[in-house]
């Protein structure tokens, strides 16, 4: 295992190592094919259901890979993470498995079920005000105070490599199902941890990140050829898991080499994707986890070849989800 202090950028070899480390710990989530979806899109589309992963999202993969790499003599101080919910739960679950204390800095307006589940997994939850407080500063103070290790949600090579283990599974599943590797993987994107991991795991596939409109830092960055943050006064979005202000160099170094473009979807398109997944496929998908499917259903994504769409999370707020699925198309 490469020492964390020496590791600079994530590599394909380290994604393979992460997949081996996660074997028997992370769930091997199913790859789903549906005639209904094919009929709606006019293509052959496969869904990678990370909604069925431990803690309800792909985030467990990166969290466990990162925590398992922390030297035993450094584990006593525990870990600190900041997250609106999915990374929080992934870190909390991984820390519990590895008998490490965990503190999670969460926005006060994070969906209550995500907060409650994080606490149920044994983590200490510290709330902050998105509008008035800097989450990085809150987390940094806790790291210094407790001698803990920071576990960033996406700007960490170990986290990226862990997320890439989903791509290792996708490649094996597609080859078994179709006799060929995926030619395109369309995935939700916040800071770029998942998409960077997929790019390393599936080097021959086109990787397409998808973001909600207004929270499109990765799209902007790919278009500009350099890291560009979201614009001023970013609009409200139901995709709480994808509200990142800017990608980071460790992510963009991979993305700029592998992603030709990104896609943006509207709130209405996200809601329509959630409804379709529930009513036609019997799948529960949270807003941020549904953006890639939204792009496909809206006709924004190319579908030639063997296309895989990642459903990245299923941790819905029950009341909000009920309102979405009961509304008219």
pLDDT digits (tens, 9 = 90+) for 217-251: 999 999 999 999 999 999 999 999 999 999 999 99
pLDDT digits (tens, 9 = 90+) for 66-109: 999 999 988 999 999 998 789 999 999 999 999 999 999 998 88
CATH label, 60-150, candidates 3.40.50.720, 3.40.50.880, 1.10.150.130, 3.40.50.1100: 3.40.50.1100
- CA dist 194 and 48 (Å) reads 13
- What are the extents of the domains in the chain? 12-57+157-326, 60-150
The answer to whether residues 32 and 79 touch, using CB atoms and an 8 Å cutoff, is no
3-state secondary structure at position 149: strand
Confidence band (pLDDT; 50, 70, 90) for 115?
Answer: confident
In this predicted structure, the answer to whether residue 119 has a pLDDT above a threshold of 50 is yes
> Do 12-57+157-326 and 60-150 show the same overall fold?
yes
12-57+157-326, what's its fold?
Answer: Rossmann fold (3.40.50)
- The model's pTM: 0.94
Check residue 2 and give its pLDDT.
40
> Sheet holding 149-150: strands in order across?
124-128, 102-107, 79-82, 149-150
Residue 94 dihedral angles phi and psi, to the nearest 5°? -65, -40
pLDDT digits (tens, 9 = 90+) for 293-308: 999 999 999 999 999 9
* CA separation, residue 76 to residues 67, 73, 146, 147, 213 (Å): 12, 7, 9, 8, 41
């Amino acid at each position: 295992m490469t020492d964390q202090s020496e590791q600079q950028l994530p590599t394909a070899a380290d994604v393979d190592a992460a997949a081996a480390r996660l074997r028997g710990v992370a769930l091997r989530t199913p790859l789903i094919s549906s005639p209904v979806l094919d009929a709606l899109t006019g293509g052959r589309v496969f869904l990678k259901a990370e909604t069925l992963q431990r803690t309800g999202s792909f985030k467990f993969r990166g969290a466990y890979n990162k925590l398992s790499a922390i030297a035993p003599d450094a584990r006593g101080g525990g870990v600190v993470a900041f997250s609106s919910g999915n990374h929080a739960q992934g870190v909390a679950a991984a820390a519990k498995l590895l008998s490490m204390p965990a503190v999670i800095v969460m926005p006060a307006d994070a969906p209550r079920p995500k907060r409650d589940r994080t606490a149920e997994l044994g983590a200490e939850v510290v709330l902050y005000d998105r509008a008035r407080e800097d989450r990085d500063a809150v987390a940094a103070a806790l790291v210094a105070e407790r001698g803990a290790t920071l576990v960033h949600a996406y700007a960490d090579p170990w986290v990226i490599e862990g997320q890439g283990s989903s791509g290792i599974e996708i490649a094996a599943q597609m080859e078994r199902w179709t006799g060929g590797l995926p030619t395109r993987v369309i995935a939700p994107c916040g800071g770029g941890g998942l998409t960077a991991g997929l790019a390393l795991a599936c080097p021959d596939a086109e990787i397409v990140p998808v973001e909600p409109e207004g929270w499109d830092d990765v799209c902007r960055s790919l278009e500009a050829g350099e890291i560009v943050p979201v614009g001023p006064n970013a609009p409200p979005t139901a995709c709480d898991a994808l509200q990142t202000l800017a990608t980071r160099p460790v992510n963009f170094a991979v993305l700029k080499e592998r992603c030709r473009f990104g896609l943006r979807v509207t709130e209405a398109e996200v809601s329509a994707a959630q409804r379709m997944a529930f009513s036609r496929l019997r799948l529960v998908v949270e807003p941020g986890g549904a953006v890639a499917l939204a792009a496909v259903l809206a006709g924004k994504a190319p579908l030639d070849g063997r296309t895989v769409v990642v459903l990245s999370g299923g941790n819905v707020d029950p009341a909000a989800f009920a309102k979405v699925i009961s509304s008219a198309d």
